[in-house]
Amino acid sequence: MQTDVAIIGAGPAGLAAAAELGRLGAGRVVVIERDAVPGGIPRHCGHSPFGMREFRRIMGGSAYAARLAHEARAAGAEILCSMSATALFDGPLLELSGPEGRFMLDARCVLLATGTRESSRIQRMIGGTKPGGVMPTGALQGIVHLNHQIPFRRPVILGTELVSFSALLTCRQAGARPAAMIEAGPAILARAPAALLPRVMGVPVHLDTRIAAIHGRDRVAGVTLDTPRGMTDLDCDGVVLTGAFRSEAALLAAAGAPRDAGTSGPVIDSFGRCFAPGYFAAGNLLRPVETAGACWAEGKRAARAIHAFLGGALPDPASAHPVQIASDAIRYALPQLLLAPGPGSHDQLQLRVSRPVRGMLQLRQGETILASRHINARPERRVMLPLPAHALNGPLILTIEDST
pTM of the predicted structure, to 2 decimals:
0.87
Domain 319-403 listed as CATH 1.20.120: no
CB-based contact 360:169 (threshold 8 Å): no
Q: Can you identify the CATH homologous superfamily of domain 1-117+245-314? A: FAD/NAD(P)-binding domain (3.50.50.60)
The DSSP result for 9-31, as a single string, is: --SHHHHHHHHHHHHHT-S-EEE
In the chain, where are the structural domains located?
1-117+245-314, 120-241, 319-403
The one-digit pLDDT tens for each residue of the chain (404 residues) are 899 999 999 999 999 999 999 999 999 999 999 999 999 888 877 677 888 888 988 898 889 999 999 999 999 999 999 999 999 999 999 999 999 899 999 999 999 999 998 888 999 999 999 999 999 998 998 899 888 899 999 999 999 988 899 899 999 989 999 999 999 999 888 877 777 889 889 999 999 999 999 999 999 999 999 999 999 999 999 999 998 888 898 999 999 999 999 999 999 999 999 989 999 999 999 988 888 899 999 999 999 999 999 999 999 999 999 999 999 999 999 999 999 899 999 999 999 999 889 999 999 988 889 999 999 988 878 899 999 887 677 789 999 988 76
CATH of 120-241, one of 1.10.10.10, 3.50.50.60, 3.90.870.10, 3.10.28.10: 3.50.50.60
Give the three-class secondary structure for 393: coil
Per residue, what are the HEC states of 224-287? EEEECCEEEEEECCEEEECCCEEECCHHHHHCCCCECCCCCCECCECCCECCCCCEEECHHHCC
Helix (H) or strand (E) holding 193: helix 192-201
